[in-house]
Copies of this chain bind each other. A is one copy, B any other.
């Protein structure tokens, strides 16, 4: 039996390649499909089928790409789409001698399907649960608007308690997402899990009544605006790429000329960005692109990339997974070539937590902006006197940030702070400081922390990147 889980870092997305004999199937493929082709090829298998658990909202499905490149059939959930064929509840899909049995498990989406894998002897062995059941979490039910949240939560309760849990503790559970995905509020970093482990450990499965479960699910999560674009692409079928795009290398002058009509995305680490960047550039460190590019980049305008050196393949991969295909080129030679061309750059001030403390002690004017999510504040505490705007909300709440006082930005580590700083600078702020090490540094240095009270605002997914990069 071929059974391989493919992880897409950043999206925290899991897809699965299963196969038997000469036939393989991919469950919830991503858009850069080379990895499936290579594994199948090495095993002498053809990819006969791409199976979707539901219409994804956080990444562009790779089913259409896979079909275009291998002739695979697309089998999908009942959620509306203009390609593939919808699977029926109870229908069995064969993969060699293996069998995938479709289970309707609505809630995250109305048409959401899970697939129960039976081995060649007919014994059930694993459940591909899509976004219905995740490690320590369940899929969010707020994607179709507040009006349908309760209905979908109730459906999800039934899916979980009457369809999935009865399958028994022993089954391997194979969800579509791991820790760090925005598709669930607080997915755990549990490398593999089982239905039984979730029954015992998953807080969402501890309710004994549907009403309690539904009540707990009404807290809305953040709804990234790019989800709508994902939704549309996954309904219509995204453009076929053929291969990973290779953007053009551009000279500094070419970038300078194009920078106005385009959006410059700089994926270097925050220290490099701090010291010098193209004026107006957006900072998102590379591993943060899957989580944040959709929030802050426009789908309409061309994208220019700045990386450390010339290897933009990582950034490109992340962008096309989000359908951000309009990458027109990158600054060849990086910022070094920019400066050698005698062009102007901007910089962003940074401080360590100690330096900030010194300034506070000296009574310097300081406006502290904490861009962590509400749930992080709740869990980890807050810095006394800090103002809280989650980084994703910043574009809409710029008016709350003063222009005449130095702003000191905190996040978990300093990474997201630089996104915020680059947004403020682009909007004309001039006295912006990023606090290096962020809340982690503040706590490590044993500076004072307050307990945060719960706030009645949409909470973000627990993490938008590997936990240690927050």
Q: Which residues from chain A sit less than 8 Å from chain B, CB to CB?
A: 1, 3, 22, 37, 41-46, 119, 123, 125-126, 168-172, 189-197, 199-201, 242-243, 246, 248-251, 268-276, 308-311, 332-345, 347, 350, 352-355, 413-415, 436-438, 440-446, 468-469
Closest to A3 in B: B191
| Contact present for B190 and A249 (CB under 8 Å) | no
Q: In whole angstroms, how far apart are the Cα atoms of A159 and B343 in the complex?
A: 49
Q: In whole angstroms, how far apart are the Cα atoms of A442 and B272 in the complex?
A: 21
Question: Which of B191, B275, B338, B442 lies in contact with A1, CB distance below 8 A?
Answer: B191
Q: In whole angstroms, how far apart are the Cα atoms of A126 and B194 in the complex?
A: 10
| Contact present for B172 and A170 (CB under 8 Å) | no
Q: In whole angstroms, how far apart are the Cα atoms of A275 and B192 in the complex?
A: 39
Closest to A287 in B: B309
Q: Which chain B residues border A22 with CB–CB below 8 Å?
A: 249-251, 332
| Contact present for A248 and B310 (CB under 8 Å) | no
| Contact present for B170 and A200 (CB under 8 Å) | yes
| Contact present for B192 and A169 (CB under 8 Å) | no
What are 25 inter-chain pairs, A to B, with CB distance below 8 A? A22-B249, A22-B332, A37-B246, A42-B310, A44-B249, A44-B310, A168-B169, A169-B170, A171-B197, A172-B193, A194-B194, A242-B242, A242-B243, A270-B336, A308-B308, A333-B468, A336-B414, A336-B437, A339-B352, A339-B413, A339-B414, A339-B441, A340-B414, A341-B441, A347-B350
Q: Which chain B residues border A196 with CB–CB below 8 Å?
A: 168-171, 194, 196
Chain B nearest CB from A172 CB (Å) reads: 5
Q: In whole angstroms, how far apart are the Cα atoms of A469 and B194 in the complex?
A: 32
| Contact present for A189 and B1 (CB under 8 Å) | yes
* Nearest 10 Cβ contacts at the A-B interface: A170-B196, A339-B437, A342-B444, A342-B445, A271-B275, A340-B440, A44-B310, A169-B169, A274-B275, A3-B191
Chain B nearest CB from A290 CB (Å) reads: 17
Chain B nearest CB from A268 CB (Å) reads: 8
| Contact present for A342 and B170 (CB under 8 Å) | no
Q: In whole angstroms, how far apart are the Cα atoms of A243 and B246 in the complex?
A: 14
| Contact present for A172 and B200 (CB under 8 Å) | no
Q: Which chain B residues border A414 with CB–CB below 8 Å?
A: 336, 339-340
Q: In whole angstroms, how far apart are the Cα atoms of A166 and B442 in the complex?
A: 44
| Contact present for A444 and B123 (CB under 8 Å) | no
Q: Which chain B residues border A1 with CB–CB below 8 Å?
A: 189-191
Q: Which chain B residues border A333 with CB–CB below 8 Å?
A: 44, 468
Question: Which of B272, B341, B353, B415 lies in contact with A275, CB distance below 8 A?
Answer: B272
| Contact present for A308 and B169 (CB under 8 Å) | no
| Contact present for A172 and B192 (CB under 8 Å) | yes
Closest to A333 in B: B44
Q: In whole angstroms, how far apart are the Cα atoms of A353 and B341 in the complex?
A: 10
Given contacts A170-B194, A468-B333, contact A249 B46 (CB under 8 A): yes
| Contact present for B269 and A197 (CB under 8 Å) | no
Question: Which of B41, B332, B345 lies in contact with A44, CB distance below 8 A?
Answer: B332
Q: Which chain B residues border A437 with CB–CB below 8 Å?
A: 336, 338-343
Question: Which of B3, B355, B413 lies in contact with A192, CB distance below 8 A?
Answer: B3
Given contacts A275-B350, A352-B344, contact A336 B269 (CB under 8 A): yes
Q: Which chain B residues border A170 with CB–CB below 8 Å?
A: 169-170, 194-197, 199-200
Closest to A444 in B: B342
Closest to A437 in B: B339
